[in-house]
Structure 1
């Protein structure tokens, strides 16, 4: 087993400070709204909403906030529509970057994303300019429990339809085809596992090593994307040392 997950390393995690946590709640609130609009307010009948609720709880979002967001999104007075827009580009050193957004103002978001790329020595690219370097994967993150045997958990995941497995000191990362994500997630939950997150991620086919100067610029770019309310997820193919430590 590796000491840290390739999925946790590539996907930019948030919530490191109180200020960042408030920013995370705003982003998750948008995801809740989109999930409710697409499948209704009942998580028992809306797998997407169920997954976002699990993500919210993993980020320590208060239950009152979650309930309020769901009620607001399902109410007749809710008229805000968020568009899911994905941007692709290059960070400093030619690092491939995918930026997923939810926005109620496309012009504002496009300008902000372009500015961040430019500010950090990168450039906004055209559609599909880097997406071919990534593969969509359904990734379920579950908490490790006392007495867990890594091989047993791996076999359990594979039996449920997973196709890859990784771990850190505190979590297991289980990947599957996006179409199998819900089945794997529900199976793990029925087996008594605590679901931390369950979502489709963009996993690079390979990563690239970067020098110290490029690493600093990439990290700055990722921090700037984190601070933008419209940006939901950022994926890249840079090998950033000790990236897992950022999640603590």
Structure 2
């Protein structure tokens, strides 16, 4: 099982927990708004908006809330203008961290992100220091009960690159701009989809072979994700199954 598979599974579980806490709604609305501002308000003509729209619906964000966010993005309604910013750094044990944020005040967000790194034993890095270790991809999560051959056929026909098993889900990866089309192709084949999103896949992994080291990195990731402006945190950590089981216990 690849390190990315397990990390994507962790992210999937954390996303469900965030949704229960109500943290996810504001971040998803902000993502929809920025996608509409950057590429227009028609999901059929804006693949990123289509993916963010579906992601918000998967998290049960009300349709009228999403539509208002789109209108704020296109300028039909007044609202705060958010700027896309990224931050890069290192967690303990040399794990590369790549952060995507949406902020209305980068002079506030930057120092706060730097402070989180410092408090959790990490260090922020210069732009480009770790970005080269990640690649933008689409990720579609499918229940693990689905037949592999059936899913593989539908996914590849829809333009997917790969299908991997994380033990609980099938993870379908594709080019970022094809995310919505690949999901649609899988659903058109009668296969249920849990979620879809854009992600950053690491090109190499750092194995964290002890509970202590894994917990140290996860604490930093959690602290970063708790920041209101931070939308996504990506890390090139590989946590073995037995370590993950010990942490869950």
Q: Counterpart in 2 of 1:215?
A: 214
The aligned residue for residue 224 of structure 2 is 225
Equivalent positions of 1:28-39 (< 5 A) are 28-39=28-39
Residue number in structure 2 paired with 1:117: 117
Alignment CA distance shift 1:241-1:228 (3 Å) = farther
SS of the residue corresponding to residue 181 of structure 1 reads: helix
Deviation at 1:116, TM superposition (A): 0.9
Q: What is the alpha-carbon distance in structure 1 between the residues aligned to residue 234 and residue 246 of structure 2? A: 17
Paired with 1:46 and 1:193, the residues of 2 have a C-alpha distance of: 24
Cα distance per residue 1:154-179 (max 9 Å; x no partner): 12212322221123465321112334
Gaps of 5+ in 2: none
Query: What are the within-5 Å matches in structure 2 for residues 40-189 of structure 1?
Result: 40-143=40-143, 148-168=146-166, 171-189=169-187
**Who is 1:14 aligned against?**
15
- Compute the TM-score of the two structures, normalised by the length of structure 2: 0.83
Query: Does the CA-based 8 Å contact 1:16-1:246 persist in structure 2?
Result: no
1:68-104 alpha-carbon deviations (Å, 9 max, x no partner): 4334444534242211111111001111111111111
Structure-2 separation of matches of 1:181 and 1:208: 27
1:234 Cα offset (Å): 0.5
Aligned residues, how many? 243
Which has the higher mean CA deviation after the structures are superposed, 205-214 or 71-80?
71-80
- CA distance in 1 between counterparts of 2:194 and 2:124 reads 32
Distance change in 2, residues 1:167/1:173 (3 Å): same
Q: Whole-Å Cα distance in 2 between the matches of residues 171 and 137 of structure 1?
A: 17
**Aligned-residue offset at 1:226:** 1.7
Distance 2:178 2:42 in 1: 21
Contact 2:6 2:166 in 1 (8 A): no
For structure 1, the residue ranges without an aligned partner over 5 or more in a row are: none
